[in-house]
Amino acid sequence: MRLAVPLELDPATLDGWRPGAPVVDLAGETMGTTWHVRLAAPPAFNRTALLSAIEGRLEAILAQMSHWRADSLLGRFNRAGGGTWITLPPDFRTVLEAGLVVAERSGGAFDPAIGALVDAWGFGPEPAMTMPSPAELEQAHAVSGSARLAYDREASRLRQSGGVRLDFSGIAKGFAVDALGAVLLRHGCRHALVEIGGELLGLGLRPDGDPWWVDLETPDQGISPLRVALHQMAVATSGDYVRGRHTIDPRTGAPVEHALSVSVLHASAMWADAWATALGVLQGAEMEALASREALAVRTLTRVDGTLHEWISPALQAMIDELDEPPTG
């Protein structure tokens, strides 16, 4: 068993920690998947109020960013005529700006404006009954890419150039995880594990004093397990072993075939989500160079010449110790 522990521990983690505090589980559905919160209940904990706040926050995010809802802000932008400017609320703006940053830093391996390609392959609201034709892919590619967006940051508005479709599926879940973490903190819950569709955020400590331990998804038994202490940290995983080859390379317009699992640790689940998507598109030396340059803590499992290859970035390797007996939990 390999353990990954952050090199620096935040003393503020102990704020509000109570040994033996009751553990409460909350769960529901969102974004076509499930959400789950496990928390150490603070004094005067109000389960009903927190559950209502969580559900309200998730609904607000879906109302802005859902690719599946025609009436979402994202859906309205995608249907808007060329030349239309759309004013962006803070959540939408935060996700868009992060997506544009990762698009630039990754050389286009991540792009929030490839909704037309996602739809052409049947990964959007309407499943495809057949493979898209070369002509259909060429047409979708022609209207895709953040270079076709005009973003007025000062006025917080975005211009539809005509036919561009946004798709936040490679970043919105991570944003939602961070948002739920903020909801918990506002309700006095400083010690919790948040999860949406496999993306996780750990806050504070468990009541037994341990961090929130999670195992990185390792779909091959030949790879040694890697357990991570989510100490004020998030982890996001991209890949094809659960949902199939659904990640699109924005540069070619084709699904990625080499990435089995790409996990990124980061203080923010949103950034971890976007970087995991981008790194899953890149291969070999190009992927390793980007992860190293950005000082990202990354574990990848990729197919190389018919075999499974594990790579661990320097930032993650510095956190890892070997352990004969894994911690409980």
Tokens at residue 165, please? 């479709």
CB contact at 8 A, 181 and 93: no
Please choose, from the candidates 42, 16, 13, 35, the residue with its C-alpha nearest in 3D space to the C-alpha of residue 229. Answer: 13
CB contact at 8 A, 114 and 164: no
Q: DSSP per residue over 146-196, as a string? A: GGG-EEETTTTEEEE-SS-----TTTHHHHHHHHHHHHHHHTT--SEEEEE
CB atoms within 10 A of CB 2: 18
Instruction: For residue 94, report the phi and psi dihedrals to the nearest 5 degrees.
Output: -60, -45
Helix (H, G, I), strand (E, B) or coil at 250: coil
Tokens at residue 178, please? 């961070």
CB contact at 8 A, 233 and 4: no
Residue 122 in marked binding region: no
Q: DSSP per residue over 286-324, as a string? A: HHHHHHHHTT-EEEEEEEETTEEEEEE-HHHHTTEEE-S
Contacting residues for 193 by C-beta, under 8 A, at least 6 apart: 37, 38, 39, 200, 201, 202, 203, 212, 214, 230
Residue 273 in marked binding region: yes
Please choose, from the candidates 38, 78, 33, the residue with its C-alpha nearest in 3D space to the C-alpha of residue 173. Answer: 33
What is the spatial distance between Cα 106 and Cα 293, in angstroms, rounded to a whole number? 11
Residue 108 in marked binding region: no
- What is the DSSP code (8-state) at residue 11? G
Please choose, from the candidates 103, 91, 230, the residue with its C-alpha nearest in 3D space to the C-alpha of residue 172. Answer: 91
Please report, in range form, the residues annotated as the binding site: 170, 273, 277
Please report, in range form, the residues annotated as the binding site for Mg(2+): 170, 273, 277
